[in-house]
A and B are shown apart, each in its own frame.
Chain A
Amino acid sequence: MFATEDHAEADRLMRICNACRYCEGLCAVFPAMELRRTFLDGDLNYLANLCHQCGACYFDCQYAPPHEFAVNVPQTLSKVRAGSYRAYVWPQAFAPMFEKNGLAVALAAALGVAAFLFGFMAWSDPGVMFSAQHGEGAFYRIMPHAAMAWLFGLAFLYAIVALTMGFRAFWKDIGASGEAVGGGSLWQAVKDAGRLRYLDGGGVGCMNEDERPTDRRRHYHHATFYGFLLCFASTCSATLAHYLFGWEAPYAWYSVPVVLGFVGGCGLVVGPLGLFAAKTRRDPAMADTGRYGMDVAFLAMLFLLGVTGLLLLLLRATPAMGTLLAVHLGVVFAFFLTMPYGKFVHGLYRFGALVRHAMERRAGHSVGEAAG
């Protein structure tokens, strides 16, 4: 009756949790659970994506293994969450991309880099490719701006379309389509996501290695997420500069695109490294080992985005620029193409779940008195 064994297990756990409720102050998952008495696949996917994997409920639970109830919410919801990425993917034929995701993303990155390297070598003059370039339009002597804009515009557009289709399927399945999304709910979700409100174990920090709470994962996630946003903002500002003012990259050190990109790039280097370190130290009892490849591939891609971008910035006036440009563009291209088929989607579905949760809270109701 459930889509997967993971869903059946999540249903079993949610019934236990719903009869206990000690964790309702820890995060959004348990209050959302309390609004239901029975759980469909879509409900479980919603709860799973609402879970930020802070681990507090595992260490706080009197029914965790080795108790015979064997309640392990972080691990189970992690599995359900990974399954939900496959279930909502567009087009469905690409669902297997999630199976060996680490390999798929690594291949895409390698192919992306190789394609740009060979492309540059095939199309541009080796003298330009392997020599120092200076002044306005330096990058475009290697790859014409129009070609770059078209290629990346299309890749980005494809990613947006695929992500939108996946999100629509998710939104429908969790029972939210057809309901009006209020501005208040949206703003609440923006705040909750922006602060990672639910990655703090109810106020003290998430529990990763053991029951001692720490805020490390939250900080590194902030570095990653805001680093990514800054890099995106950098690209947008550069696009504006190009089309509105006709200024051609590379830009000066003190220009908006470079400052944004530099700070963001640092975030993308530090954040994923910290998150990876936290992952290696995570209590294996909570981890869903089956998705290790997907998680690491995503972190590696973000890290590579940051590192190649920073290197390109630092060495843009040297003969290495052509090669670094190829590598960086290759990574970015692969990142765009694999966005809908990797861990990137977690942000989208989690944000959707937070919006849904805010909507439910506004409409909320509660059940009667209980005895102890």
Chain B
Amino acid sequence: MAEPSELLTAGADVLVAGGGNAALCAAINAARAGARVLVVEAAPKFYRGGNTRHTRNLRCAHDEGNEVLTGPYPEEEFWDDLMRVTGGETDEELARFTIAQSKELWDYMNEQGVRFQPSLGGTLSLGRTNAFFLGGGRAMINALYRTAEALGVRVVYEAEVVDVEIEDGFFLSATVSHGGTRHRIAAKALVAAAGGFEANIEWLTEAWGPEAKNFLIRGTPYNRGSMLRLLLDRGVRPIGDPKQCHAVAIDARAPKFDGGISTRLDCVVFGIVVNRAAERFYDEGEDFWPKRYAIWGRLVAAQPEQIAYAIIDRTSIDKFMPSVFPPIEAASIEELAGRLELDPAALRHTVESFNAAVRPGSFDPAALDDCRTEGLAPEKTHWARPIAEPPFYAYPLRPGITFTYLGVRVNRRAQIVMDDGKPSANMFAAGEIMAGNVLGKGYLAGIGMTIGAVFGRIAGREAGHHVRN
């Protein structure tokens, strides 16, 4: 095994910036096309893969079910789902293309050694549309690395692209920083697959204001968007809302970075959520949690100090997926308020008014039931039951940032489009760095992996072809 510095000085035909699903699909396909490929991943080996290491499934269209996918998921249905979550904020040509290409992903991923399993406990609703990775995202990315390395792809970790040289839309070289040394790498093609800027607090602050310092980042601290920044600064056309990010409500006690899936909380729909003033601020029972969790990050971000508290009682404690941090427990609402450092009288008032407004109904967590409040602002429209049976429990909530939408414009050959509208001949992009082309808003479980794999494969193939010609 050559030293990283040797690999960096040896040069390559195709330079892949990034180390996740999109980057590795690109590296594998470029290598299969005959190119010498060098992958530079900013993270250390353990943290390789960016958000891929926290994913769990891949959404793909298919005409028939198989040993894992429980039934057909036609392209048209995938398109309808995408339209529903994006509200039309998508490039229809690229989106339909992505969906059509997604049909190949099941076979492709299996060929690369990725293994699948039936949908995980508690996620049956995704069993038809999404193929779950056996062992999760890190297992999946490990498989891609094994395949890539067997094909001769060379990988350097802790190597960050700090500069790119572009002339008239043509990539000339990249400067990669590794172990305090800068290496200029003059490759024949560049694949930018280095994700978004969700871990870059300064950048988030630019977009969100000072509240961003209270955000928790669900992925690694290495998703800093430096590749994205370089490209945008060097005349690449942007896409996607620079001020938006996918923000969900997660346990406020989660680590600042890389808490991933286990810090999620599914208890909101079963109780009430209050802010520092001990006041409710949104309908907790608006819809099923999987359909609403992604708006709660934003809701909590808008509250004072970007924190909120989900409050339930004994009757609901076993109704949701267990979470990684134990609930804060108390025998009375006042005691609970004390533990949360909220005004006890205010919390008691909120809970009592809520309890008084609850109408009788038959509770059913599996349906949009008729348990609701009347005369409250805001109302709770489903699953409203009095919070009256001790012990009482609270979970603190903070916004957890999953990914950002800002990216680079690409065409269906994954070529990066320059400010003048012309595609670059030898710069390609794949994954979260260009996901905004397809997913302009909202989120659909597993679609990040779809976009990454579809465009990663194309970017690798196109880069490989470019090198050969």
Contacts and interface: CB of A to CB of B under 8 A. Distances in A.
A22 interface: yes
Interface of B: 46, 53-54, 56, 115, 117-118, 120-125, 132-139, 142, 146, 248, 255, 258, 260-264, 266, 288-290, 293, 318-324, 326, 365-366, 445
B266 A371 contact: yes
A68 interface: yes
Given A37-B318, A61-B138, A15 B324 contact: yes
A372 B261 contact: yes
A20 B115 contact: no
A367 B321 contact: yes
A16 B264 contact: no
A338 B194 CA distance: 58
7 contacts: A15-B326, A20-B260, A20-B324, A21-B120, A26-B135, A68-B258, A212-B146
A26 B142 contact: no
A60 interface: yes
A24 B121 contact: yes
Contact of A366 (B115, B122, B142): B122
Contact of B262 (A19, A212, A371): A19
B46 A368 contact: no
A66 B46 contact: yes
A21 B258 contact: no
Contacts of B290: 369-372
Contacts of A21: 120-122
A26 B139 CA distance: 11
The 9 closest A-B pairs by CB, nearest first: A22-B136, A25-B117, A60-B135, A370-B122, A60-B139, A19-B262, A371-B293, A19-B324, A370-B321
Most chain-A CB neighbours within 10 Å: which of B117, B120, B323? B120
Interface in A96-128: none
Contacts of B324: 15-16, 19-20
Contacts of A60: 135-136, 138-139, 142
Contacts of A62: 53-54, 136-138, 258, 260
Interface string A215-239: 0000000000000000000000000
A18 B122 contact: no
A68 B120 contact: no
B322 A19 contact: yes
Given A63-B260, A368-B365, A22 B137 contact: yes
A56 interface: yes
Given A16-B324, A20-B260, A204-B115, A369 B122 contact: yes
B255 A34 contact: no
A18 B133 CA distance: 17
B356 to A, nearest CB: 28
B28 to A, nearest CB: 17
A20 B117 contact: no
A136 interface: no
Given A31-B121, A59-B139, A367-B320, 13 more contacts: A15-B326, A19-B262, A25-B135, A57-B135, A60-B138, A66-B46, A204-B115, A368-B319, A368-B321, A369-B123, A370-B320, A371-B248, A372-B123
Contact of B122 (A26, A64, A202, A368): A368
Interface string A268-280: 0000000000000
Nearest to A61: B138
Nearest to B118: A25
B323 A19 contact: yes
Nearest to B130: A372
B268 to A, nearest CB: 10
Most chain-B CB neighbours within 10 Å: which of A24, A57, A202, A212? A24
A142 B54 CA distance: 67
Contact of B121 (A203, A211, A367): A367
Interface in A22-64: 22-26, 31, 34, 37, 56-57, 59-64
B115 A203 contact: yes
A34 B142 contact: no
A23 B135 contact: yes
A26 B320 CA distance: 23
A34 to B, nearest CB: 5
Contacts of B121: 21, 24, 31, 34, 366-367
Given A369-B124, A371-B264, A372-B445, A67 B46 contact: yes
A50 to B, nearest CB: 17
B307 to A, nearest CB: 20
B134 A202 contact: yes
A347 to B, nearest CB: 26
A202 B134 CA distance: 8
B385 to A, nearest CB: 15
Contacts of A19: 261-264, 321-324
A66 B326 CA distance: 23
A67 B219 CA distance: 12
B426 to A, nearest CB: 33
Nearest to A201: B135
Contacts of A23: 135-136
Contacts of B133: 22
